Amino acid sequence: MAPLSYEGYLKGKGVKFKKINTYLNAENSSPQFKRYDVLSILPAHENDTEQPWSDGLAKHLILVKEIKVDDKPAYRIYKVDYSSFDCSKENNTLDALDK
């Protein structure tokens, strides 16, 4: 998920997304918790439920938490390993994720 302020940036990079109103933590989905308008990033590989993102992005993700429903993974939370990015000026774009 991303804040609504990223809409123009994501459109400019060709990233597919959908605007949704949801809870930021799936475990806190009762009316007492606040909902937020966010951008839900849509899969690069729409038919791959294990890795719907690009191979380039996959090497920068670390699984933090998995939430199961009926003993099956329903939600996964990843953190981005920014130390694995080449942040030199010529590589400081989303295009580098496809390499």
Per-residue pLDDT tens listing for the chain (99 residues): 777 888 888 888 777 788 888 887 777 777 888 888 888 887 766 677 777 777 778 888 899 999 888 998 888 889 888 887 666 555 555 555 554
Residue 2: phi and psi, rounded to 5, are -140, 155
Q: Would the pTM count as exceeding 0.95?
A: no
In this structure, the answer to whether residues 30 and 61 fall within a common structural domain is: no
As a whole number of angstroms, the distance between CA 29 and CA 37 comes to 14
What is the rounded CA–CA span in Å between residue 38 and residue 22? 7
User: CA-to-CA distance for 16 and 10, rounded, in angstroms?
Assistant: 7
* Domain extent at residue 33: 1-42
Is 99 among the domain residues? no
Per the CB < 8 A criterion, the answer to whether 41 and 16 are in contact is yes
Domain count, the chain: 2
Specify whether 6 is located in the same domain as 38: yes
